[in-house]
Amino acid sequence: MTIDIIVVYIARYQFGHEAHFVPPITGIYLAALTPSQHTVRVIHQQIQPVDLETDADVIALTFFSGFAPEAYRLAREFRKRGKIVIGGGPHVSFAPDEASAFCDCVVLGEAESVWLSVLQDIEQGQLQRRYHGKPMALGSLPMPRYDLLPKTFFVTRVVQATRGCPFTCSFCTVPTLNPGYRTRPVADVMKEVRYDSFRWWWQRKVVWFWDDNLTIQRPYIRELLSAMIPARRWWLTQASMDVARDPALLALMKRSGCIGIFFGIESFGKESLEDANKPQNKVGEYRNRIAALHRHGICVMAGFISGLDGDTPDSIVAMARRLYEVGVDVPFLSILTPYRGTASYNRMVSAGRMRTGIGWEHYNGYNVAFQPRLMSPEALLAAHRALWREAFSPDWAIRRIIRGLFTLRLGAFLMCLFMNAFYCWKALRGNEPISFEGTDEWADLRKQCAKGMHTPSPEDLVHLNAPRLGKRRVPVGMI
Ligand code: B12
Ligand code: SF4
């Protein structure tokens, strides 16, 4: 059989991405799970068009909630052409009935325990409508098919060493999607770390761990990092802030080539951190924790969420300065999105706060799918965009880069430079996140202010920061 695995994507920025930094692992990993008697292709829609007239027999779609409208459009088109369409991934796992209306078959949860059966059942003409993947031990997983990655991605070695996370943040599906905390044998992970058939030196040098929380189990991470020292790689991952209180681990991270750690800091507000169920994050400790990583030359990337229950437009916009003050090198700024399968979603539903009549594209991390507590959805969107523009303005981006010059080791500094320049360039050319809300009714006022014909009042400023309508609209799937 010929199988096309499509990693579905809808542009999240007005003019798409200027550069494609790092690929998802899901497509090339599913390809590796597929037995070699099948021909398999992986299409990353983010960077290449999907061929509806493909000769594939089976189309496997993987997608996040925000990309569901496009996934369903593709599913309809392929089924019209007689293809067998299979859906899987985080959205399908939590909305299987809806996905079943568009796909011949849906796979819930992790694929390892069922993917072979799905393929065998297709060959025998006995495909079931639904398969439930069970979380399995991670011994002897195949190496992702790096050979199938398009050359366009800057970083290419994406690896997953562990699954799961012991925390239970209210907005996160990981505890339900990947239950428990499971680790892969270090020897298996090292094969991927050492894999070297990439074209450019940086592709051979960098290892990006797509883990939920790589460092949480200390004996495991010590074993893995010790094995990585001789490989002389630069690596990055996501971890929780407790690493900063472990000097021995930080030293090992440095020796093994760590250049960047992503922390989910989320907020500077006590009430908002409670809403996020992140008691492990203490605002008063942010600066010291980040400084501990800087002492080892490690770049700190950090996620911030706008729209938690304690947030106001002012507190959101103020984050641009505060995140600089605590030492963050690269910020990632998103809007709270209560995905199905999260405590946040359950709570919003029982409080009647989920917005209805909007499409899944509102779930792309940059739009508003719920009723915020202290402001309107429009005000939250406007505040987020104001924060985004401010945080990635040349003023703050250059300050972060200059500070990085004095605090970060070479690979970490390059990371800080590249990512700040990437987002700052987006901000400069107005390539901001697409908004699915309203129209730019304040365009005239904006022009008058730009020409100096009108001095904006504080209220005007709120409107002037309001989101501009996306240049590209996407087909809307109903919820
Ligand atoms: C790595 C990661 C990223 C990376 C890479 C993104 C990418 N496109 O892959 C980065 C940091 C860029 C990222 C960004 C975002 N992410 Co993210 N990310 C993850 C993370 C931590 C791991 C995903 C992963 O690669 N796992 C390893 C692979 C092998 O597993 P997998 O994808 O789950 O696939 C397995 C099964 O799901 C299943 N499967 C999946 N697809 C299919 C398809 C078929 C046909 C079959 C049979 C099976 C199958 O089989 C696989 C093997 O078991 C997850 C959390 C998690 N544990 O899932 C969040 C997660 C996927 N991300 C999420 C979100 C929301 C985002 C953002 C929108 C966040 C934001 N605010 O901007 C952006 C979107 C950016 C984008 N361009 O896509 C959500 C998705 C929730 C949802 N319902 O859609 C998750 C679940 C975290 C959460 N908040 O709960 N993310
Ligand atoms: S720490 Fe990160 S991965 Fe773990 S539950 Fe919280 S958001 Fe999810």
CB 440 within 8 A of CB 468: yes
The three-state secondary structure class of 33 is: helix
pLDDT at 441 over 70: no
Q: Whose CA is nearest to atom 5 of ligand 1?
A: 24
Nearest to 470 by CA among 15, 65, 3: 15
Q: What is the pLDDT of residue 478?
A: 33
Q: Is the CB of 34 under 6 A from ligand 1?
A: no
Any ligand 2 atom below 6 A from CB of 169: yes
pLDDT, mean of residues 366-378: 97
Is beta strand 299-306 parallel, antiparallel or unpaired with respect to 158-159? unpaired
Residue-level pLDDT at 440: 45
Quick one: CATH architecture of 2-132? 3-Layer(aba) Sandwich (3.40)
pLDDT in tens, 21-42: 999 999 999 999 999 999 999 9
Q: State whether the beta carbon of 172 lies less than 6 angstroms from ligand 2.
A: yes
Looking at ligand 1, which atom is closest to the CA of residue 29?
29
Does the pLDDT of residue 139 top 80, yes or no?
A: yes
What is the tens place of the pLDDT at every residue in 96-112? 999 999 999 999 999 99
Q: How confident is the model at residue 183 (pLDDT cuts 50, 70, 90)?
A: very high
Share the mean pLDDT of the chain: 92
At residue 10, does pLDDT exceed 60?
yes
Can you tell me which atom of ligand 1 is nearest the CA of 94? Answer: 83
Residue having the nearest C-alpha atom to atom 56 of ligand 1: 174
pLDDT in tens, 303-360: 999 999 999 999 999 999 999 999 999 999 999 999 999 999 999 999 999 998 889 9
Domain boundaries, the chain: 2-132, 155-429, 443-473
**Residue 235: C-alpha distances to residues 67, 77, 143, 207, 214 (Å):** 29, 40, 18, 5, 12
Distance CA 170, CA 266 (A): 12
Query: What does the alpha-carbon distance between residue 308 and residue 326 come to, in Å, rounded to a whole number?
Result: 20
Domains 2-132 and 155-429 share a fold: no
Q: Measured in angstroms, how far is the CA atom of residue 128 from the centroid of ligand 2?
A: 33
Query: Is residue 264 within 6 Å of ligand 2 at its C-beta?
Result: yes
Cα 479 to ligand 1 centroid, rounded to whole Å: 20
Give start and end residues of each alpha helix (H) in 64-114: 68-80, 90-94, 96-100
Give the pLDDT confidence score for residue 460 in this predicted structure. Answer: 53
Between the CA of 248 and the centroid of ligand 2 the distance, in Å, is 23
Spatial distance between the Cα atoms of 361 and 69, rounded to a whole number of angstroms: 7
Task: For residue range 189-200, list pLDDT tens digits in order.
Answer: 999 999 999 999
Q: Which tens digits make up the pLDDT trace of 406-431?
A: 999 999 999 999 999 999 999 999 99
Q: Please report the atom of ligand 1 found closest to the CA of residue 210.
A: 1
Question: Which whole number is the average pLDDT over 242-267?
Answer: 98
Q: What is the pLDDT of residue 211?
A: 97
**Proximal ligand: closest to the CA of 236:** 1
Task: Indicate if the pLDDT at residue 240 is higher than 60.
Answer: yes
The CATH code for residues 155-429 is: 3.20.20.70
pLDDT at 436: 86
Ligand closest to 237 (CA) is 1
- Give CA–CA dist 26/92, Å, rounded: 14
Cα(91) to ligand 1 centroid in Å equals 9
pLDDT value of position 463: 45
**What integer pLDDT is reported at residue 437 of this predicted model?**
74
* Ligand 1 atom 23 nearest Cα: 210
Q: For residue 180, count other CB atoms closer than 10 A to its CB.
A: 11
| Proportion of the chain above pLDDT 90, given as a percent | 88
**What is the pLDDT at residue 451?**
59
Cα of 89 vs centre of ligand 1, distance in Å, is: 7
Ligand 1 atom with minimal separation from the 60 CA: 45
The least confident of 6-20, 284-298, 379-393, 432-446 is 432-446
pLDDT given for residue 357 in this prediction: 85
Q: State pTM to two decimals.
A: 0.92
Q: How confident is the model at residue 435 (pLDDT cuts 50, 70, 90)?
A: very high
Nearest-CA residue for ligand 1 atom 29 is: 26
pLDDT digits (tens, 9 = 90+) for 453-478: 666 654 554 444 333 333 333 333 33
Q: How would residue 439 be classed by pLDDT, with cut points 50, 70 and 90?
A: very low
Q: Could you write out the DSSP letters of every residue in 138-198?
A: -TTPPPP-GGGS-TT-S---EE--EE--S---TT--HHHHS-S-EE--HHHHHHHHH----
* Whole-number pLDDT of residue 453: 66
Q: Which atom of ligand 2 is nearest to the CA of 173?
A: 8
| Percent of the chain predicted with pLDDT > 70 | 91
Lowest mean pLDDT among 10-19, 181-190, 204-213, 329-338: 10-19
Q: Is 88 in the pocket of ligand 1 (CB under 6 A)?
A: yes
